[in-house]
Amino acid sequence: MIRCQALRWGAPGQALTPALDLHLPKGSLTAIIGANGSGKSSLLKVIAGLQKPLAGKVLLEVPRRGGLAFLAQQQHLDRQFPISLQELVAAGFWGSKLDAQTRAQQLHKALEDWCLGGLEQRPLMALSGGELQRALLARLSLGQAPVLLLDEPHAALDELGQALLWKHIHTWHAEGRTQVLVCHDLAAVRQHIPQTLLINSSGCLFGPSPQLIKPQAQAQVA
């Protein structure tokens, strides 16, 4: 589903790691972990086609347009943009051919699934960080992309929000979607995600999460 061949990425002339060869099959669930600045978010952007690699290539078995959904960190969203939470979530229907009634039903369900009922008309600037993150995740859930790239989807979420997140991640996994998540919560990765790519300056390690993340490791990585 996702294949990286001799892939190198980073600033021009400054590759962050040695070349990466990686194959993530259809329906796999993978975490990317590593210290700040190690290139986790940049790797997601390269896979998504939003950033060019320095060398090598990424092969996808789906088109990037329509076949892939990318959840960016919310800091890249303009909170001053004059739309409501409901309008933000409804943007997940972009490119959809569903009729108006079906859209309304699915939108209502997405809002309820992410505990956003009652916040539909609230402007973005009035949302808390957790409310905005759940809205972005609700928008993502309206699409049917078989590949999901999630950059720190747990950011700003409280205990309830994190429970909802992992519930949906497991649902998407059961549906056979391919998911790649950047995550700093090592305890959650070890508990919920079968395989992990660890990025550091000396290279990348890939394997089962319990082997790469020991129980005594800190719950958070900087």
Quote the DSSP letter at residue 24. Answer: E
Degrees, nearest 5: CA angle 142-70-206:
125
Predicted confidence at residue 218, as pLDDT, reads 47
Predicted model pTM: 0.92
Q: Distance between CA 44 and CA 85 in Å, rounded?
A: 26
Give Cα separations from 152 to 102, 104, 107 (angstroms). Answer: 30, 28, 24
Predicted confidence at residue 200, as pLDDT, reads 87
Predicted confidence at residue 216, as pLDDT, reads 57
Predicted confidence at residue 203, as pLDDT, reads 85
Alpha helices in the chain (DSSP H): 40-48, 64-67, 85-90, 100-113, 129-141, 159-174, 186-192, 209-212
The token duo for 6 is 């001799």
Predicted confidence at residue 19, as pLDDT, reads 94
Predicted confidence at residue 217, as pLDDT, reads 53
Predicted confidence at residue 40, as pLDDT, reads 95
Residues in the chain with pLDDT < 70?
A: 216-222
User: May I ask the CATH architecture of the domain 2-11+25-82+143-212?
Assistant: 3-Layer(aba) Sandwich (3.40)
